[in-house]
Chain A
Amino acid sequence: MYDLIIFVGLLLLGYGFGRAAEAGHYRSIRKRERFLNRIPVIASRIPPHGEPNFDSLLVSGNVVISVDYFKRFVATLRNFFGGRVTSYESLLDRARREAVLRMKQEARAMGATMVFNIKFETASIHKGHGNTIGSIEVLAYGTALIPNNVEVVHTANLMR
């Protein structure tokens, strides 16, 4: 009986806090995406020709996001029937966009105008109960193109 109460409590906690955190995170993501919209991120390897006056530097952004109890329980249930695990979709979506944003922020601090050849790495770094997901890490990295005539704003970033 106590188990059941604890379980329902954890579910409610997970649902309440998880939903609030997700909504807040999406708001913040959308705001920053608009703000950093000036810096295009391109998946191609070949930078624009004919413009030699670019410095290039590796930039990256990573984020680790934890699953909440509710999401994990729904995913376990879903595993029983098969199909789309919707509760993890938003988790991964948030992680990807956040990683790109952090990478862009770094690029912007260097005065870059574009990020080329972006690549992603995804890892589930902590497994929970019964080998279910505990938290995921997403790393986004690419080459920032910095026009030569721009003064580097934060030299600290270059040292990384």
Chain B
Amino acid sequence: MMQYTNPQIPEGINTSQNHPLKEFFILTAGVIAIVIVSFYLLIVTVDFFADKIPFAWEQSIPVDALLESETSEVPPYLESLTRQVAADMTLPDDMQVTLHYVNSETVNAFATLGGHIVLHRGLLEKLRSEDELVMVVAHEIAHLKYRHPISSASHSLLAMMLLSLFTSSADDILNRLMGTSGLLTLMKFSRDYEYNADAAAVDVLLHRYGHAQGAVGLFDVFKAQHTGGEPLEFVNTHPLTERRIQRALSLAEQQSGLSAEQSASKNLQPLPVEFTEWLAAESADK
């Protein structure tokens, strides 16, 4: 007679013994690291090639058609100030700066594809001196000079493609995790852009006035804005205002040889009366 027995089979042959929490943390960290590293590489590569895209090609993107609808006429004072600042900044030969003005409460200014700079009345009203106005304009022109608009546009586009590749088979929450870590990487670069633009603008201030108090003044405006609780468009993609002040100050100190106290005593150039009157009229007009 054949023998039938049923010995107990030891545990753990069909299951793995590593701790689930350990696996969880390693995998989560791995996913985040992969996203950050690939975004980082992507951005660095894009930035390398962004400079080589001809400006004429960028200009052919019909951005101004989108802007035209809300913009109004730019006063001659702003126009000529922009020309002067642009002349100070040694832009690439083929680059043309076009200034736009929007009569709205928004406290914002931005530079976009095709060499367009948009100033909102809300921001202009907050400014108390020409130095601050020059700081704003020079900052935006610096974005154009360094080709930041085309870089960021390519970043967003390629980042979206990369992310959709990653998230093809994953679930919702993982998608969001990857999206967020990707976005944070993009923001890191965006903040670097802001520092670069700030530095270029501080140079212009030093060249025009011999000191960079305009930068401090402008950042004070931002600070007042933050405590007021009104959300600026500058929140995440831009560095903390306090930190920007520090950088601008130390840069100004290095370049001009003036200490912070010495610069603080410098007077700011007032805005011309015709400009402030024009602003008041615009405001009443709205």
Contact = CB atoms under 8 A, between A and B. Distances in A.
A and B touch in the complex (CB under 8 A): yes
Contacts of B31: 77, 80
B230 interface: no
B18 A39 contact: no
Contacts of B34: 80
A139 interface: no
Contacts of A93: 14-15
Interface residues of B, number: 28
B2 interface: yes
Nearest to A34: B8
Contacts of A131: 169
A89 B15 contact: yes
Contact of B1 (A50, A70, A90, A129): A50
Given A3-B176, A33-B8, A73-B174, A87 B30 contact: no
Interface in B1-15: 1-2, 4-6, 8, 11, 14-15
Interface string B12-40: 00111010110110011011001000000
Contacts of B274: none
A76 B15 contact: no
B24 A77 contact: yes
Contact of B15 (A40, A73, A86, A132): A86
B172 interface: yes
A59 interface: no
Interface residues of A, number: 40
B27 A77 contact: yes
Contacts, number: 82
B171 interface: yes
A40 B27 contact: no
A147 B243 CA distance: 87
Contact of A74 (B8, B11, B14, B27): B27
Give the dominant DSSP class at A's interface: helix
Nearest to A29: B11
B170 interface: yes
Contacts of A74: 20, 23-24, 27
Given A77-B31, A90-B15, A70 B171 contact: no
A116 B137 CA distance: 86
Interface in A22-55: 30, 33-34, 37-42, 48, 50-51
B28 A77 contact: yes
Contact of A129 (B2, B20, B23, B172): B172
B243 to A, nearest CB: 24
A42 to B, nearest CB: 7
25 contacts: A3-B173, A15-B20, A15-B21, A19-B20, A33-B8, A34-B8, A37-B6, A37-B8, A40-B4, A40-B6, A48-B2, A70-B24, A73-B24, A74-B24, A79-B169, A80-B34, A80-B170, A80-B174, A81-B27, A87-B23, A89-B15, A92-B14, A93-B14, A93-B15, A129-B171
Query: Which 7 residue pairs spanning A and B have beta carbons closest together?
Result: A77-B27, A130-B171, A86-B16, A40-B6, A129-B171, A90-B15, A40-B4
Given A39-B6, A80-B170, 6 more contacts: A3-B176, A37-B8, A41-B6, A74-B20, A74-B23, A87-B23
